[in-house]
Structure 1
């Protein structure tokens, strides 16, 4: 194995493939930055892009909630940032509250 060094990262790579090396136990290699650590904001990507605030309910992610997020070029149908935020929250809520799985009921007409 050899180490390739660039100004930002130190990465151990496999000599023949050049892909990141793996340990004997199969774990992926870990990239370690050669730069000092930086503080990371404890904020989700959702809040970063579609976050709202009680102080500014007319803004989504810092932009007007009525601003277009998506526009269908063929039809001109528009989804606003406010609608996108609402649809995203509805989708996440449906994942959190999944219905009970359907249970298998053997067909009574078939005999074994």
Structure 2
């Protein structure tokens, strides 16, 4: 995406420079020099907004990854504590045997946490 924006910007600048050079002898039918300047400013603003959004996505991804990892650790700890606490209660212990906290992917980790929550309720 960045390469395409750089290419478009270079072509825009070249066209604008040529038009400025030839403005006295040739009238451009499509855009004036001022319109090229406006378009260039708009393209640069969009590029800055895109870079800002990419940074935000990276930050949010890291935050989400940390939250999922924390949820996995909490689920694993809660399941271990519950198995130890209810080791003398065969009814509850049998319900806990179907649960695990060994997921590696985000979807598996979330499912295991939801399964534990639904069993507990």
TM-score by structure 1 length?
0.28
TM-score by structure 2 length?
0.27
Please identify which structure carries the higher strand content: 1
Q: Which has the higher contact order (CA 8 A, sep 6+)?
A: 2
Structure showing greater Rg: 2
Please identify which structure carries the higher helix content: 2
